[in-house]
Structure formats: C-alpha cells, structure tokens
A and B are shown apart, each in its own frame.
Chain A
Amino acid sequence: MYLAHERHARAIALATTVVDFLVALPLWWLFDPSSSRMQFAEHVAWITSPPIHYSLGLDGISLPLVLMTAGLMPLCVLISWEAIVTRVRTFMAVLLIMETAMLGVFAALDFVLFYVFWEAMLIPMYLLIGVWGGPNRLYAAIKFFLYTLAGSVLLLVAILVLYFYGGHTFDVLALSQVTYPAALQNWLFLAFFAAFAVKVPMFPFHTWLPDAHVEAPTAGSVILASVLLKMGAYGFVRFSLPMLPDASQTMTPLIAALSIIAIIYGAYMALAQVDLKKLIAYSSVSHMGFVTLGLFVMNQQGIEGAVLQMVNHGITTGALFLCVGIIYERTHSRMIADNVGLAKPMPRYATFLVIFALSSLGLPGTNSFAGEFLVLVGTFLWSKAAAALACLGVILAAAYLLYMVQRVVFGVALPRELPHLRDLGLREFGILLPLVLLVFSIGLYPNPLVSRMHSAVTRTLETMARTKVAPNSHPSAAVTPTVVLSGQTQDDRP
C-alpha cells in the first residue's frame, strides 16, 4: 500500500474490499440453512503447544454479520474518497487491517484466535480516531483504547481458565459442550461481561461511545457503529450463552435491567443532543439495549430478533452515519442547528435521510421493525413488564428521530446556508442506494435472513438446555451433531 500513489491507494482499497465482498457474497447461497453445523470450516494447526488452531467457520449467526461487514467496507472506502485528504495510504491500509480483524472475529472458532483478532482491532481503530478524527480526537482515541483494552484483558484470563477446566482445548464448540461449576461460571461470566459489555456498550460502560463517534471520521463511525458494537453482542451469543448457561440464567435480570436502562436512557440522551453524530451515538446505545435484551431473554424469538437487530442496526445506523458524513463534507458542521431545512436544496439526500430515520425508529415495513418486534415478542414471553418498558424505547426513538428529521429535513433554513449545498453525487447515491434496498427487503421479507439463523439459534438454545439438565454427564457423550471441527480435540480430553 505504501508503494502506491495516493490516488491509487484509494483504488486499491476499493478493489480489495469489493473483491472481498464478492467472494463473501456467494456464501449466502452456498450456506445450508437447515444445518446447524459450522460451515465453510477451515482448521489448521497454528501453535502446537498448547493446541491453538487457525480455525474458522460460519453458522447462521455469524454469516449475516460477516456479509454485513464485507458489504459495508467498500462503502467506507467510498465515503472516505474525498473526505480523507491526509495520509490517504495509511488510512486505507488501516481500513483493510480493520476488515481483516473484524471478519476474523466473527469467523474464529478458536478462542485464542478470536482474542487475537479481537485485540488486533484496537490499534487500527485507535489510529483511525486519533489521526483522522475531529478536534478532540486525542482524548476520544485514548478513551476508546483504554476502555476497550481494560475490558478485554480479563477475557484472556477467562479463556485460559476455560482451557484448563474445559479439557485442554481452545475449540469454541468443544468448550461449549462442557458444564462448568456454577461458582466458576459466575466469575467467568463477569470476565466475559467486562469485555463484551464495554464493546456493546451496555449502560454504565457506554461513555466512550459518544466521544469516539463524534471524533471519528465518517468511515470510523460507520465501522464503530455497524461492526464493533456487534462484536460485543456477538461475544455474548457465541460465548457467554452456550458456555456459561447457568451464570447467564442467574445474570439475566441484571442484564435485562441494564438493557432497559440503556434503551430508555440512550433514547432520552438522544432527545437532548444538538450534534447529529452524538444523537445517533446515543440512539445506538438505545438500540443495542434491544439486542442485549433479546439475547438474554433466552428464547428463540428473542435471540433471533437480537441477531437480526444486530444486522439491522449495522445497516441503518451505518447509513445514518454515512448521511451525517455526507452533510458534514458540505457544511462542515454536525450541529443540527447548522443543517436545517435540507429538503429544498438536497431533495434526494433528504429522502434517504428520512428513510433511514424511519428505519431506525422501527417503522413497519423497514428492517428494524422486524428485529425489534421479535425482540419484544421474546421479551414479552419472559416478562410482560420488561416488554412494556422496552416498548417505551420504541416510542422515544420515534420522538428523537422525528424531531431530528423535522429540523434537519423540513426546518426553515437560514438563508445564507442554501447556495453552497449540492445534492448527492453519483458516488454518494451509489453508497446509500444499496442500503435503502436492504432496509426494505429485510423489512418486508426477513425470512431468508431469519431462516438462515434459525438452526444456529436452536443449537445455541439446545446447548444451553443440555448442559443444564445433564450437569454430570461426560462432555462428549451427549454431543449433538454440531461439532464437526473439534473431532481431534474432543478425543484427547481426559
């Protein structure tokens, strides 16, 4: 990348991300929705002692996230095409490193490999915020870095403890089949929680998010909102739930409470924001509350809704950040007060913004409706009161998003602002159009997505139930045919 000219750097990055996406896209059709196994698995020994494998695979939970990540990256390159003018080569290199690490996180089936990818993402993101960010970027970058690093260091201890308790393997699927003592589960859960909750971010750990979002360049915000936050939620569903079912059960009230606080608190904070990016950042806190709530009610609807909502939030919030980035390039301000009444000078842009805002507030027919509806159904089955409270979040979302739309799109503009604004160019149109298509196609017909995650979610729930009913059975005795990769590692367990 360093050898190329700056202009070429953009093209190379775009080509790489597009090719990546095109390679990933066929997986959607090649994926067998009826199987709960890990598909497209790769399993190569990496370190022999202790046995760590370069082990990748996708199931119905990780497949949509991988595709979402691969699909968003070309858009991130495109949105930075003109916005990033300094150190373009480094910027593009950092984006590509990020993509590698993010895809690795979602696909890794070896716990150490997962951790390597998980941590490897920190430095590129730190640079992304700190080098190309806004005026207060230094503070935001180090805050992001220290928060997430401090959260995730305990994860490593937990991984090592699991290794020794779980039969000397780092294989995620094999570790999910072992029943751990209840007290140990609680400790491990807290360690997992520290790592994943900071990343999601759940309510008391969310303070890094608005800072990071506001200061990050547009591409950084998109990656943060769409992918990084999902890594935390993904961690919960891939590791916390199946490996530590008893502790998850114990902690459910706590997590549900924090999620509901996040939903309502995030929404209220969003209502008060004057900065568009901060508004969307707090709306992320609120929306991710739905995801964690859905995961921890631990029924089919809740988890499927949560995973669906992860993808939806990635699409919708990513799109909203792209919209903010586009307007920032023109007015050089993210303040709502400086971007009033855009419907007139930028009708196409206004249309897109309205669609994404409606999608974000969960209008039926858009993607978020499907996800939030499922989550609420799942929550209702668990507790009616919790569902009622969570519904408040939907109402508040309508409030803050419509209030924002009212001002930004339909407000009465200051006359001096108008002449400079040109509507979306072809590049920007091309960035937003696919996202709109996804918003409606998932909203109107979510079944292809849901059906693909169905068996993986069923397997997760079965894993949880199995470890609960048979606490003393031999780990490999009652294995459902989910474990295809861990043949070797299972056999050498004592």
Chain B
Amino acid sequence: MTSYGTDLIIILPELIVVAAACLVLILDPVTPRSRKELLAWISLGSLALCIGLTGGQIGVMNLPLSAFSDLVVVDGYARFWKLLLYGVTGLTILMSLPYLKIEGLHLGEYYGFILLALSGMMVMVSGADLLTIYLGTELMSLSLYVMAGLKRSSPRSLEASAKYFVLGAFSSGLLLYGISLLYGLTGGTKLSTIAGALGARGFDDPMLLIATILLTVGFGFKLAVVPFHMWTPDVYQGAPTAVTAFMAVASKAASFAAFLRVFVEGLGGLKADWSMLFTLLAVVTLVLGNVVAIVQTNIKRMLAYSSIAHAGYALIGLVAAGRGAGESGGTSGIASVMLYLTFYAFMTLGAFAVIAMFRKGGLEGDEIEDFTGLAKRQPLAAFIMLVFMVSLTGIPPTAGFIGKFYVFMAAVEAGLSWLAALALIFSAISAYYYMRVVMLMYMREPEATAAEPSHLVPSPALTIVLACAIAGVIIFGLFPTPVVNLALQSVLLLR
C-alpha cells in the first residue's frame, strides 16, 4: 500500500491538473456568464502549484523517479518538458481570457479541456510504456478535437474539428497497431523491455520495419511532419486562435517529447535505421513547409506551414542524435530538439497572441493583409510582431537563432553538414514569407477603410502573454546559457 501512496505522490502534478479540470467542469454550470473568468484563475492556480512542484524537484534533487511498476517515469527529461508545458498552458489560458470574450464563447468547460489536454501531455512526456504514452496521446487529442470546434457558429471551426478528429483517430489507430506489433515482437510494451529485446539487431524482421513505420506515421500526424501534415493548415486556420496556438506549441512539444522517448529509449537499437528514415522526413518537411508557406495569404495558414517547417528543423536534431551517438550518447542532438521546441514555443505563441489581439468584432484579423501599415497605427504591436518574425526566421539576437544554432551544431557534429546546409538554405527561403509580414507592417501605408480597428488595446492578460513571449525570445536569444544547461542536464541518453 505504501508503494501505491508513493506512486500517487510521484504523479501529484498530474493529479492536481486533473482535479482542477474536474473542479472547473463541476463549477462551470453554477458560474454565471460574467464570472467565467474565475474558472481561468482556478486553472492558473493549479498550474502555479505544478510549477512549484516540478520546478522544486529540479532545484532540489533531479533524480529519476518511477511509479506504477515503471509505467510512469518522472526524470529530468520529463520535468523539463512539463515545465515548458505548464508555461505554455498558462500563457494560452491568459490569451484565451480576452479572446473568448470577443468571440462570444462563454464556455467554462474550455478551461477544463485545456487542463485535461495538459494532463494528457504530462502523461505523454512521463510515459515509460507505450500504452501509457498512447493513453496520454488520446487524452490530449480528444480534448483538442473538442477545443478546435468550440466556435460552434463558424463552419470553418466545425470543419477543423471534424477533420482533425477523423485524421487524428486514424493516426491513433496506426499508432496502436504499431504498438501491438511491437508487443508481438518483443513481448512487452515497456520501453525498457522493448529495448532489451531488440538489442542492437537492426531491421532483421520485416515486421519490425512495419511496426517502426506505423509508430512513425502515428507520431508523424501529431507532429505534423510531411507527408502526415495534411490536416494542419485547415485545422490551424479554422480553430479559435488561442486553441491554434495551444495546438501548434504544446501539442507539438508533448508529441516530440514522447516521440523522442519512444525512439531513443525503446527503439534506440535501431537508431542507424530510423535516423535514415527521419532524414528523409526532415528533408521533405523542410522543403514542403517552407515552400508552401510562401504562397499563403492567411497568416494562420502561413504559421501552420511554418510550424510544419519548424518540426523539420527539430527532426534534424533527432537525426543528429541517431547518427552521431557515439560515446556522447547523442546528447547534443536531443538537447537541441528540447531547446528548439522551447524557443519555438515562445515565438509561435507570441505570434499567435498578436493575431488574437487583432480579433475584433467584425474583423477576423487573420489575413496577412490585415497587417498592412500596422507600424503607423500601432508601432509597439508592429515591433513585437517584428521580433517574432525575426526569431522565426532564425536571425540573431533572438531565441530562434539560438535554437537553430544548436540543431545545426548537432547536425554538423554528427557529420551531417550537408543537411545543416540544406536546412539553412531553406531558412533563408523562409525569410521571404516572414519578412513579407514585416514589409506589410512597416513599408505599406494603412488603408483607410471603415473596418480598420482604430485602436488595438490589448487587455491586461494579453499584455502579460506578449510580454512573457517577447521577454523569452529576447532573453533566451541573448543569455541562453541557463536553459541550455538545464536541457543538457535533462537529456535522455541514447545508447
């Protein structure tokens, strides 16, 4: 019994989040419409508790703990991702406060779903067993399906939800199929069991190849890497902007975390083979994401393709880990993925927050043209967007550059200079579409139409989000050392 109690203490952050989610759902019907914000504050409070717990563990003793007979593991790696996820979720909730009001979505369960999705993500990053990870993935995805369709009056939102659900369910099925094949081959679903059974034998069994591909496809959908990206632009465009930000950042981070753990801890023996597969995926993702983003006219679609491209950059880090894992254990590659997604989180979240700020009655605010002449009307907002665009392009001194620097460094270390060069050339191409936003904001005169919002006054909550995001982008761009060291301490070892 005592061990069961310890187990519960180990997963205390997850319990807190789930409890808060339930509390929000219970309180929702009895909260009057004007007081729905209370639910958001409850959610934020639970996040603060979790940050304290997980952050405290990192500060005091960053030892790996496992619970429920090794179904769940709380190690430095999991804590790193959890901290990132808390931060992203908190900022999303703050962003949602004014956004939901403008959209006329007085739905308390929104916050409940965010917390449920978060708990799913937390299970994903902590899962040491394929089934645990699968459960986490489903909890996250099901919540996100609902959230994507929250704008019930908008056909686009409903379409996004339906599309996301159908494709997501399909990919989950493939993932499950892959897991079952692996179970058949190795006799277990625990990552350690799988790793032990596989050893370093490579693809000697065609079934193993099929299982690996199925897992890759299943995760590929969640990560939105080409060719499993088809849902991304439609869903990102249709979903409410705050939800899009949450999907683009949190769900991608959690999926990457689980993906890395499965392939590093479970299938590490096949690293020579999967790194070849992922090289191919990374290249097509970079090419397609960056090239298709150029022709977009809707900024949410553009950021959708940009997020696809960024998944490609992050994937390079994993490839580098697989290829370069000598005695270093692929440390720099895995750390570079962790850093990349951390920095990506800040800049993408910030960009979506600016878009959310544009949403006014009568103005959707998500066409790229809407940014025309912003520097004249709102110099500060334009400057903030400029910083995010610069960071997404990967130009110093922003966090985006540091993220790319570490990924390419890992790639060069692994002898993949050509891949780094290719990725950098595509990052120069990406400058074209990011800089187009800057060009419209700074170099075109605003059109004097009646629909123009004369004043974009961000609410206090949105101001906090923007301030945090821009501080993250600039501070991590200038002084990345603390977070770099944290990532290096928390990294998984690829043996």
* Residues in A lying within 8 Å of B, measured CB to CB: 2, 46-50, 87, 90, 112, 115-116, 119-120, 122-123, 126-127, 130-131, 137-138, 141-142, 145-146, 149-150, 153-154, 156-157, 160-161, 163-164, 191
Q: Which residues of B contact A112 (CB under 8 A)?
A: 405
Q: Which residues of B contact A137 (CB under 8 A)?
A: 443
Q: With A122-B395, A160-B412 known to touch, is A149 a contact of B428 (CB < 8 Å)?
A: yes
Least CB distance, A282 to chain B, in whole angstroms: 26
Segment with Cβ contacts to A, from B74-82, B364-372, B481-489: B481-489
B395–A119 contact, CB under 8 A?
yes
Taking a contact as CB atoms closer than 8 A, the residue among B386, B424, B432 that contacts A154 in the complex is B424
Least CB distance, A131 to chain B, in whole angstroms: 5
B428–A116 contact, CB under 8 A?
no
A150–B443 contact, CB under 8 A?
no
Q: Which residues of A contact B401 (CB under 8 A)?
A: 116, 119
Query: Residue B408 at the A interface, CB < 8 A?
Result: yes
Bound state CA distance, A163 and B410, in angstroms? 12
Bound state CA distance, A322 and B73, in angstroms? 67
Q: Which residues of A contact B420 (CB under 8 A)?
A: 156-157, 160
B424–A131 contact, CB under 8 A?
no
Q: Which residues of B contact A46 (CB under 8 A)?
A: 481
B484–A49 contact, CB under 8 A?
yes
B412–A157 contact, CB under 8 A?
yes
Bound state CA distance, A160 and B420, in angstroms? 10
Least CB distance, B381 to chain A, in whole angstroms: 13
A164–B413 contact, CB under 8 A?
yes
Bound state CA distance, A87 and B412, in angstroms? 43
B431–A149 contact, CB under 8 A?
yes
Q: With A119-B401, A137-B443 known to touch, is A160 a contact of B408 (CB < 8 Å)?
A: yes
B425–A120 contact, CB under 8 A?
no
A160–B396 contact, CB under 8 A?
no
Count of chain A to chain B residue pairs whose CB atoms are closer than 8 Å in the complex:
90
Bound state CA distance, A398 and B395, in angstroms? 41
Bound state CA distance, A64 and B156, in angstroms? 61
Chain B interface size, as a band, is 20 to 34
* Residues in B lying within 8 Å of A, measured CB to CB: 375, 379, 386, 390, 395-397, 401, 405, 408-409, 412-413, 417, 420-421, 424-425, 427-428, 431-432, 435, 438-439, 442-443, 480-481, 484-485, 488
Q: Which residues of B contact A131 (CB under 8 A)?
A: 375, 442-443
Q: With A154-B424, A157-B424, A160-B420 known to touch, is A116 a contact of B409 (CB < 8 Å)?
A: no
Q: Which residues of B contact A115 (CB under 8 A)?
A: 396
Least CB distance, A1 to chain B, in whole angstroms: 11
Where chain A touches its partner, the secondary structure class is: helix
B413–A156 contact, CB under 8 A?
no
Least CB distance, B253 to chain A, in whole angstroms: 22
Bound state CA distance, A146 and B430, in angstroms? 10
Question: Nearest residue in B to A123 (C-beta to C-beta)?
Answer: B390
Q: Which residues of A contact B428 (CB under 8 A)?
A: 146, 149-150, 153
For this complex, 29 residue pairs linking A to B, each with C-beta atoms less than 8 Å apart, are A46-B481, A47-B484, A48-B484, A48-B485, A87-B375, A116-B396, A116-B397, A119-B401, A123-B390, A123-B395, A130-B443, A131-B442, A131-B443, A138-B443, A142-B432, A142-B439, A145-B431, A146-B428, A146-B432, A149-B395, A149-B428, A153-B427, A156-B405, A156-B408, A156-B420, A156-B424, A157-B408, A157-B424, A160-B420
Q: With A49-B484, A153-B424, A157-B417 known to touch, is A126 a contact of B435 (CB < 8 Å)?
A: yes
Bound state CA distance, A120 and B394, in angstroms? 10
A-B contact sample (12 more), CB < 8 A, given A2-B379, A160-B408, A163-B412: A90-B379, A115-B396, A123-B395, A130-B439, A130-B442, A138-B439, A138-B443, A142-B439, A149-B431, A150-B425, A153-B421, A160-B412
Bound state CA distance, A299 and B319, in angstroms? 45
B379–A161 contact, CB under 8 A?
no
Q: Which residues of B contact A130 (CB under 8 A)?
A: 439, 442-443
Question: Nearest residue in A to B425 (C-beta to C-beta)?
Answer: A153
Q: Which residues of B contact A50 (CB under 8 A)?
A: 409
Q: Which residues of B contact A90 (CB under 8 A)?
A: 375, 379
Q: With A119-B395, A153-B428, A156-B408 known to touch, is A145 a contact of B417 (CB < 8 Å)?
A: no
Q: Which residues of A contact B421 (CB under 8 A)?
A: 153-154, 157, 191
Bound state CA distance, A170 and B259, in angstroms? 33
A120–B397 contact, CB under 8 A?
yes
B435–A142 contact, CB under 8 A?
yes
Q: Which residues of A contact B488 (CB under 8 A)?
A: 49
Q: Which residues of B contact A49 (CB under 8 A)?
A: 481, 484-485, 488
Question: Nearest residue in B to A127 (C-beta to C-beta)?
Answer: B442
Bound state CA distance, A112 and B481, in angstroms? 14
Least CB distance, A291 to chain B, in whole angstroms: 26
Nearest 4 pairs between A and B by C-beta? A153-B424, A160-B412, A116-B396, A150-B428
Q: With A130-B439, A130-B443, A153-B428 known to touch, is A161 a contact of B484 (CB < 8 Å)?
A: no
A119–B396 contact, CB under 8 A?
yes
Q: Which residues of A contact B379 (CB under 8 A)?
A: 2, 90
Question: Nearest residue in B to A154 (C-beta to C-beta)?
Answer: B421
A120–B424 contact, CB under 8 A?
no
Question: Nearest residue in B to A160 (C-beta to C-beta)?
Answer: B412
Bound state CA distance, A48 and B482, in angstroms? 9
Question: Nearest residue in A to B331 (C-beta to C-beta)?
Answer: A49
Q: Which residues of A contact B412 (CB under 8 A)?
A: 157, 160-161, 163-164
Q: Which residues of B contact A157 (CB under 8 A)?
A: 408, 412, 417, 420-421, 424
Q: Which residues of A contact B375 (CB under 8 A)?
A: 87, 90, 131
Q: Which residues of A contact B397 (CB under 8 A)?
A: 116, 120
Least CB distance, B488 to chain A, in whole angstroms: 6
A161–B417 contact, CB under 8 A?
yes
Bound state CA distance, A30 and B401, in angstroms? 36
Bound state CA distance, A122 and B398, in angstroms? 13
Question: Nearest residue in A to B480 (C-beta to C-beta)?
Answer: A47
Least CB distance, A139 to chain B, in whole angstroms: 10
Bound state CA distance, A138 and B439, in angstroms? 7
Q: Which residues of A contact B386 (CB under 8 A)?
A: 123
A141–B484 contact, CB under 8 A?
no
Question: Nearest residue in A to B335 (C-beta to C-beta)?
Answer: A49
Taking a contact as CB atoms closer than 8 A, the residue among A48, A141, A149, A160 that contacts B409 in the complex is A160
Bound state CA distance, A138 and B435, in angstroms? 11
Least CB distance, B187 to chain A, in whole angstroms: 40
Bound state CA distance, A119 and B442, in angstroms? 20
Q: Which residues of A contact B424 (CB under 8 A)?
A: 153-154, 156-157
Least CB distance, A236 to chain B, in whole angstroms: 20
Least CB distance, A180 to chain B, in whole angstroms: 13
Least CB distance, A213 to chain B, in whole angstroms: 18
Which of B379, B425, B431 is packed against the most chain A CB atoms within 10 Å? Answer: B431
Q: Which residues of B contact A138 (CB under 8 A)?
A: 439, 443
Bound state CA distance, A472 and B384, in angstroms? 52
Q: Which residues of B contact A145 (CB under 8 A)?
A: 431, 435
Least CB distance, A388 to chain B, in whole angstroms: 39
Bound state CA distance, A163 and B379, in angstroms? 41
Question: Nearest residue in B to A168 (C-beta to C-beta)?
Answer: B413
Least CB distance, B99 to chain A, in whole angstroms: 27
Least CB distance, B340 to chain A, in whole angstroms: 15
Bound state CA distance, A2 and B379, in angstroms? 10
Q: Which residues of B contact A153 (CB under 8 A)?
A: 421, 424-425, 427-428
Least CB distance, A166 to chain B, in whole angstroms: 12
Least CB distance, B261 to chain A, in whole angstroms: 23
Question: Nearest residue in B to A187 (C-beta to C-beta)?
Answer: B417
Q: Which residues of B contact A154 (CB under 8 A)?
A: 421, 424-425
Q: Which residues of A contact B417 (CB under 8 A)?
A: 157, 160-161
Taking a contact as CB atoms closer than 8 A, the residue among A120, A160, A163 that contacts B395 in the complex is A120
Least CB distance, A231 to chain B, in whole angstroms: 15
Bound state CA distance, A90 and B376, in angstroms? 11
Q: Which residues of A contact B443 (CB under 8 A)?
A: 130-131, 137-138, 141
Q: Which residues of A contact B425 (CB under 8 A)?
A: 150, 153-154
Q: Which residues of A contact B396 (CB under 8 A)?
A: 115-116, 119-120
Bound state CA distance, A150 and B375, in angstroms? 27
Q: Which residues of A contact B409 (CB under 8 A)?
A: 50, 160, 163
